[in-house]
Amino acid sequence: MPELLETVDVAKYFGGVRALDGVSIKVKEGSVIGLIGPNGSGKTTLFNVITGFYVPERGEVWFNNEQIDGLNPNEVYLKGLVRTFQIPRLFPSLTVLENVIITPPYQIGERVLDAPFKKRWEKQEIDLAKKAVELLRRFGMGKYIKSKISELSAAHIKMLETIRGLLASPKILLLDEPAAGVAYTTAKELFEYILRLRSEQGLTFLIIEHRLEVLMDYVDYVYVLHNGRLLSEGKPEEVVQDPKVIEAYLGG
């Protein structure tokens, strides 16, 4: 399959609720794709199916020419498919910097046989910390590097999730509402940075975002979910003019 990520006719039910009912999307390598839809339309559930948190009732997920539905979240993560959570999952007793550098895969210092030998992991750890500090500063969080998570605002916690995802060296990053609660200018900066990462490193993004006024300037293509089904898809300027989409949003 030529696409980097593809879902084929994916269905996921919770009891009588058809959270997803036959959803097929395609994400080309190096693209920035938006996934939108009213609350409860199935966006987060699609992320959960793609990243192995849920096994779909029906359908397939393909990544990098490999069928990945049925793999567990850790296996999916190690393939370079990294997601953030709508409600950030952080370690409250650790500092901001510790939280950011804790996740990337293949950290040498975590391997039992290497852990006692500082030389083997010291450089990797320092490089990672440098990169983390650079990202934290870029997004206005430099002064919180040593703060505890409990001292942060909701917006900063949201930013932290995204920064953590970026540091995991993903092939594709799935962001669940990265701009939620984040100030307009900071949200813009975040999306500008996403576009830079795409052009400089060929990174691919699939982004759920409720704030369309931020998202629409940055995405190549948009999928719209409604009641677990694809309601519309296309270029951002086409999708926002689609009467079905307008009605779904106005109708709640």
Ligand X SMILES: Nc1ncnc2c1ncn2[C@@H]1O[C@H](COP(=O)(O)OP(=O)(O)O)[C@@H](O)[C@H]1O
Q: Which is nearer to Mg ion, 101 or 207 (CB)?
A: 207
**Are 61 and 134 contacting, i.e. CB atoms less than 8 angstroms apart?**
no
Query: Judged by CB, which is closer to Mg ion: 104, or 228?
Result: 228
Residue 45 interacts with ligand X (CB under 6 A): yes or no? yes
Residue 99 interacting with Mg ion (CB under 5 A)? no
CB of 88 to ligand X, least distance (A): 15
Residue 41 contacts ligand X per CB under 6 A: yes
Report how far Cα 159 is from the mean position of its chain's Cα atoms: 12
Element (H, E) at 47: helix 43-50
User: What is the CA 160 to chain-centroid distance, rounded?
Assistant: 12
Q: Work out whether 51 is an interface residue with ligand X (CB under 6 A).
A: no
Tell me which residues in 161-180 interact with Mg ion (CB under 5 A). Answer: none
User: Is 48 near Mg ion (CB under 5 A)?
Assistant: no
- Interface residue with ligand X, options 26, 43, 158, 226 (CB under 6 A): 43
Contact indicator for 96, 186 with CB cutoff of 8 Å:
no
How many residues at the interface with ligand X, by CB under 6 A?
11
H helix or E strand, kind and range, residue 58: strand 58-63
Q: Give rounded-to-5 percent helix, strand, coil for the chain.
A: 40, 25, 35
The footprint of ligand X (CB under 6 A) covers: 14, 17, 19, 37, 39-45
The footprint of Mg ion (CB under 5 A) covers: 43-44, 86
